[in-house]
Structure formats: C-alpha cells, structure tokens
Amino acid sequence: MHHHNHYYGQAHILARYCGLDDEHPPRIRGYLQHGWNVGCGWNPVHEFFDGAWRYTWADANRRRGHALGRRNHHVVGAPFLYLMELEPDLGVVPERERRGTLWFLFHGWEGGGKGGRIEGDHARLISEIRETETEPVTISLYYTEFERAEVRRAYEKAGFDVICFGKRGWNYEGTDRRFLYRQLETFRRFKRVAANRLSTAVFFGVAAGCEPAVYGDAMELEGDNPVFGGQARIARLWPEMLGKDVDLAAARATTDVELGRAHLMPAAEMRMLFDWNPRD
C-alpha cells in the first residue's frame, strides 16, 4: 500500500464507509488519488509499480491516464464525498447562518531540498482579498506556510483569522485521520470558499455548499513541473470555476464531475473492489 493512500486520512474514511477499522485501515492494493490536479490525478513524476491499480476520483483522470499509456484504472469517487455521506450533520448550520469566506492560499509541499516552497506577492493578494470580500475572511494555510512566520504573520497583521487544518502525513507518520472531518465541519459554516488557484479545497467547499471564487496572484511553486500545462490549461478547461463571482450551478455541475459523484459505490462493492472482504 502506497503511503499516499493515507494522506488526509482518506483510506481511513473509506475503511469506515465499508464498516471496517478506520484507525488501522486495511491495505489498498494500489494507488488512491489523494487530491485534484489538472492531469491524471498524480504528479507527473509519480512512480508506479507495474500492474498496480490506480483508483481515481473521476473518469477524466482515468482517460488522461490512458492517454499517458497507463492502464488498470478504476473510478471510485472522492473519499470526501463518502465522508459527507457518513457525516450528514457534522458542522451543519441553517443556510441563513452561513457567513464569511474561507480563503485557501495555494500551498507548497514537503519537498525538503527538492523544492516545495511557494513565492508570490502576499501584500498584493491581501489587498485584493480586502477589496473583493464583503464578509469576514478566514485564511487557511497548509502547515508548510503556517510554519513560515513571515507568511502567517502577513495575513494576521492584515486582520484576518488564520487557521491550519494540520498535516496530511508522510510515510505513514503523522497521518491525521480527522483532517477532512475538520475541513467538512468548517466548510459548512461558511458562505464562500475562495483560493488563488483552482484546487482540491475549492471543489470540496462547493460540494459542502459554499459559493466558490478563484482569483488573485496564483504564485509560483519552487520546482513546479509544467508538463500538465499549469494555469493556462486550467483557464482553457475550467473557465467556469475562475473569477470573483462564479455561476454556482455551473460550479456545482463541474464539482460533481471532478469529484466523481456519479461513480460513488455501495460499501459492499467497495469491499469487493479493494479485496477487503474477510477470507475463510
């Protein structure tokens, strides 16, 4: 089982959905997509074991994988959608009480000396957020930016609440299986979700009932691989998701496609697919 399957506690969510131990989930014999991207669901240089299955959120990821010469795909839908089924009441408030914007800064990753830091004009972005948002703003930083004092303090000094949902885990260490639970609970309190790049969090926010926006300095990621086409490709393929005032019906339709809502499966089918049924 690849350690990416544990990111954000996603394997744990699927195990719970299947009625199994969600503290120590059984192995997924393959690769579970852990986030949204503009390609096949994994980074361009991800190494795959020959013959392993690739479990994607959406059929578009399967098709792109096939175009890259990769086989053995199965579309299962995003674990976040299964979590929403498991927790229909978590964080829910009356629609009229939802307020404010949960704003996600594009984040780096645990790249160490190989890259992973973002660089951009935070002061300019802060100014644009202030000019755009009409209700209180909470800035969500991934821990890689939250722990960079100069980044965190820039948003705190601007008067925003700044939060961090924690770490996704790495090599099976530090996996926070409640990561997505906290996100879901938080999304359901906010009226809007926004970010400076189209990202997983925007789609999750829309799925949880938020109005989306994507605007501002997209920033640069050190060591970013341009093979998938970057921001230009996003503008070509997902224009309906970009801007300060996005059509909600269009955003919800696209979100359903990108998160694979039509491909959600019953627990019994998932247990069979992952070979999670008990053996006599």
Model's pTM, two decimal places? 0.94
pLDDT at 169: 79
Helix or strand run (H / E) with residue 161 = strand 161-163
pLDDT at 21: 95
Higher pLDDT among residues 175 and 57, named by residue: 57
Reply yes or no on whether the pLDDT at 248 is more than 80.
Answer: yes
Reply yes or no on whether the pLDDT at 104 is more than 60.
Answer: yes
Distance CA 110, CA 265 (A): 32
pLDDT at 114: 45
Contacts (Cβ under 8 Å, ≥6 apart) of 262:
77, 256
Bridge partners, residue 119, by sequence: 220
Higher pLDDT among residues 198 and 117, named by residue: 198
**Residue range 86-103: average pLDDT?**
97
pLDDT at 38: 87
Tell whether domain 95-247 is in CATH 1.10.150.
no
pLDDT band at 111 (very low <50, low <70, confident <90, very high): low
Q: Residue 174, Cα to own-chain centre: how many angstroms?
A: 18
Residue 10's SS3 state is: helix
The residue ranges of DSSP E strands in 42-125, in sequence order, are 53-56, 73-75, 101-104, 118-119
Question: According to the per-residue pLDDT averaged within each range, which of 30-39, 60-69, 124-133, 271-280 is highest?
Answer: 124-133
pLDDT at 223: 64
Reply yes or no on whether the pLDDT at 54 is more than 70.
Answer: yes
pLDDT digits (tens, 9 = 90+) for 132-148: 999 999 999 999 899 99
**Residue range 24-48: average pLDDT?**
85
Supply the mean pLDDT for the chain: 91
Tell me how long the chain is.
280
For the chain, counts of helices (H) and of strands (E): 11, 10
Reply yes or no on whether the pLDDT at 120 is more than 80.
Answer: yes
Higher pLDDT among residues 68 and 199, named by residue: 199
Query: Domain ranges in the chain?
Result: 3-85+260-273, 95-247
pLDDT at 112: 47
